Chain A
Amino acid sequence: MVAGVITLRLEGKDKQKVWDLAKKKRETKSNLMRKALLSYIEKETELDEIKEIVAVKFVEGKISFDELVRILGFDEAKKVAFFADIAEKSFQEGI
């Protein structure tokens, strides 16, 4: 894919934070935001992969809900259990 320009809208306070950090790091604002964005995407992708592996183990019955909570935290564990539940119902009941 060819390089392209992405326009980003930031609140004044957040914009100032980017300006300040760029100055401190002696980076251009564009470079700082590119690094931040790519780092966020990499982290989230890795996290999603971990969540997916753990979720499958839970659905397979290889780990309990308590163990799921220990690994993902309560909120994420609840979401995984919820998704497993609606997915199972979708397979069992149809519409």
Chain B
Amino acid sequence: MKKAVADTSALISIALSGKLPEVVENIGLFAPKAVKLEIAEMAGYDDIEGGAAKNILNFIKNKKISLIEIKNEKNARDLTGKSIDQGEAECFELAAEEKIGTILMDDVNAAYRITGLAKPKNISIKISTAAIVELIKQEKLAKKQGIFALQKMVKNRQWEKGILEFLIKKYVKEI
């Protein structure tokens, strides 16, 4: 089973695609403590993302998403700064400690800062759409369902008219 560490933004996006159950069934998803705390905070909001956060907390509670505490908190703390928050820093540290080759992260600023550190450790940064594409590749999701999930993610995340909407259209033509 393929594995990935997911930060808060990526987990919310996957949940908003409507395919979180299928993703956790077929991809090993890992999250550090700081991500759980961020999700728990978001679960207090009475909006679509708050609902997604509550859903994610249930998956963590039922151990469908593996919650792992990082061993070296100082490393993560040293990474935090203007563009990288605690959750993102712990995701990088967790991927490095557990030798997990992919981090799913939708925040471009954090991903941009982390990627320089991730490359030497053979960790690649990808966005949440990779989880849906992976399910299509593994034939766990029909192409049509996958495309619908990607479109739902873009709509719920209010990413319309952005790069991702264009790339989904391009992807639909290619597959």
Contact = CB atoms under 8 A, between A and B. Distances in A.
Interface stretch (B34-42, B53-61, B66-74, B157-165): B157-165
Contacts of B2: 94-95
Interface in B117-164: 124-131, 133-138, 161-164
A70 to B, nearest CB: 19
A83 B108 contact: yes
A91 B129 contact: yes
A95 B134 CA distance: 6
A15 B135 CA distance: 52
Contacts of B3: 95
A49 to B, nearest CB: 9
A91 B108 contact: no
Interface in A42-95: 52, 55-56, 59-60, 78-79, 82-84, 86-91, 93-95
Interface residues of A, number: 19
A94 B133 contact: yes
Contacts of B128: 90
A86 B162 contact: no
Given A52-B162, A90-B133, A79 B124 contact: no
Nearest to B170: A91
Contact of A87 (B129, B134, B161): B129
B45 interface: no
Contacts of B137: 94
Given A86-B126, A87-B164, 10 more contacts: A79-B112, A87-B127, A89-B124, A89-B130, A94-B131, A94-B138, A95-B3, A95-B104, A95-B126, A95-B130
Closest 10 A/B residue pairs (Cβ): A94-B134, A90-B130, A94-B133, A90-B126, A95-B134, A95-B2, A83-B108, A91-B171, A94-B137, A90-B127
Interface of A: 52, 55-56, 59-60, 78-79, 82-84, 86-91, 93-95
23 contacts: A52-B161, A56-B162, A56-B166, A59-B166, A79-B108, A79-B109, A82-B108, A82-B111, A86-B111, A86-B126, A87-B127, A87-B167, A90-B127, A91-B167, A94-B130, A94-B131, A94-B134, A94-B138, A95-B3, A95-B4, A95-B27, A95-B104, A95-B131
